[in-house]
Structure 1
Amino acid sequence: MLRDGLPELPSLFTPIPLREAGDAMARAIAMAPGHGAGTLAWVRAMSRIEAAVVLEPEQPLGAARLVLFAAISALADAVVALGPPEIPVSLRWPATLIVNGGEVGLARLASPPGAAADVPPDWLVVGVEARFVNAPGLEPGFAPTRSSLEAEGWDETDPAEITAAWARHLMAGLAEWERDGPQRVAERYLARLEHDPETEGARRALDTGTAELLWERDGARHRRAWV
């Protein structure tokens, strides 16, 4: 059954429901200049999770980009809270959600065109997307690197409940960032981040001023940007 609204949504959010064919990221970006922080565009759909929220950060854009990692971590937290405890949930650089080894979702970030990295932007929009069910007619295993939440056992929840849980976890993560500093965002993200051939065995960190991935190998320091 398709829900009319989002359950248990914190009052600081202003939800804007969209039809199933809607684009939450595009709607939030269009509304960002005039509607302010907390505007939450979300798609009413049974097959997918799609939502985007407007933020008004106080940090320069370079540092504020960490919100991408807060958003994908919040989606992972929401999925873990509402799903089978034995199914592994991880992240792939920079912001892809991996469930039981398959790609399920991602997070995206948008800022005003031409915004300078060393100045707080007028707004940011951070959004998430995730497959809840596979497209009709597709058999399990049709794409070994991709999956959906329902296929992995998320059959006692629905996209609206996960969307609301994402919003709550994101709010908690942003409050923790404000209280304890950006390193807390980095720690939460890195705890779930998969290694790849370049970083395998290396100690990793995030540059909280630029949102770049850092690691050291054989005495050489490396960094990886995502923008």
Structure 2
Amino acid sequence: MSAVLPELPSVFTPVVPLREAGDAMARAVALAPQHGAGSLAWVRSAARIEAAVVLEPEMTLAAARAALLAGASALGDALAAFGPPEVPLTFRWPDRVVVNGGEIGRVRIAWPDACAEDAIPDWIVVGAEARLMFPQGWEPGHGLGQTALQEEGWDLAEATAEELTAAWARHLMAGLAEWQRTDPAGGFRRLAERYLARLEKVEALDGKRGLDPATGDLMVDRDGARTRFPLTEALA
């Protein structure tokens, strides 16, 4: 394992990696008020990736919370680039990442406690986690409904924690830049398309699906009726 990440865009400032038991999300939240956008906390581990980055949005908290979905798409793209193309990688609304039917990781988001929904937060933190391998001694199937990249055919000699962490950060920044660079409606539409393309096709979400750019809520139209799945409620 290396204590250095592969080359990243200049917007990132990686901090000293945390040890195996570290919490990248908590570290990034602690850094956010003083260190600001681009601070990247990550865990140095052979068994999992865990990273979190500080962002400084220019939109209200209600709208900025959709950065969680950008984080999921970035994690999906980063993992898929190293894995067998025939193995399905999907999202379970709103924040779980699933490979071949088994949960493998998740994305997380945090913001200042006192920030109102219609206020622009000083910062938000988006984090990602994914399991590279099961702990030593676990038998296949031990984690019910869970899996690991190694179990699904990923080559961990290439898909190291460092490589995947850097790949996630690059994909995240590219997705956020596209969202902000283009007109708001068009940028969010592309973000939504990428996320929805991987969202699980389960009965409860069967229908024409979309994301509300004002809140990140999932909307499903079926039989002339619309059902809204609020992002805040799903995260809670």
SS state of the match for residue 220, structure 2?
strand
The amino acid that maps onto 1:8 is E
Task: Please show how residues 145-224 of structure 1 align to structure 2 within 5 Å.
Answer: 145-155=145-155, 156-180=158-182, 181-200=187-206, 202-224=207-229
Tell me the CA shift for residue 43 of structure 1: 0.3
Tell me the CA shift for residue 116 of structure 1: 1.0
Tell me the CA shift for residue 217 of structure 1: 2.1
Which stretch of structure 1 is more off in the superposition, 179-188 or 99-108? 179-188
SS state of the match for residue 30, structure 2?
helix
* Structure 2 unmatched ranges of 5 or more: none
Alignment partner, residue 29 of structure 1: 29
Q: What is the aligned-residue identity percentage?
A: 59
Alignment partner, residue 225 of structure 1: 230
Tell me the CA shift for residue 198 of structure 1: 1.6
**Count of residue pairs the alignment pairs up:** 225
Task: Please show how residues 1-227 of structure 1 align to structure 2 within 5 Å.
Answer: 2-16=1-15, 17-155=17-155, 156-180=158-182, 181-200=187-206, 202-227=207-232
Per-residue Cα deviation, 1:11-30 (whole angstroms, up to 9, x for no partner): 21010111111100000001
Q: Partners in 2 of 1:199 and 1:54 — Cα distance? A: 31
Per-residue Cα deviation, 1:169-223 (whole angstroms, up to 9, x for no partner): 00110111112321211111001101222222x0000001011000122322110
The answer (yes or no) to whether the contact 2:215–2:231 under 8 Å persists in 1 is no
The answer (yes or no) to whether the contact 2:28–2:52 under 8 Å persists in 1 is yes
TM-score in terms of structure 1 length: 0.96
Q: Partners in 2 of 1:177 and 1:72 — Cα distance? A: 14
Tell me the CA shift for residue 40 of structure 1: 0.2
Per-residue Cα deviation, 1:142-193 (whole angstroms, up to 9, x for no partner): 1341000111111232111000000010011011111232121111100110
Per-residue Cα deviation, 1:9-68 (whole angstroms, up to 9, x for no partner): 222101011111110000000110000100000000111100000000001111101100
* Structure 1 unmatched ranges of 5 or more: none
Per-residue Cα deviation, 1:104-161 (whole angstroms, up to 9, x for no partner): 0000000100211111100000000111110110111213410001111112321110
The amino acid that maps onto 1:219 is G
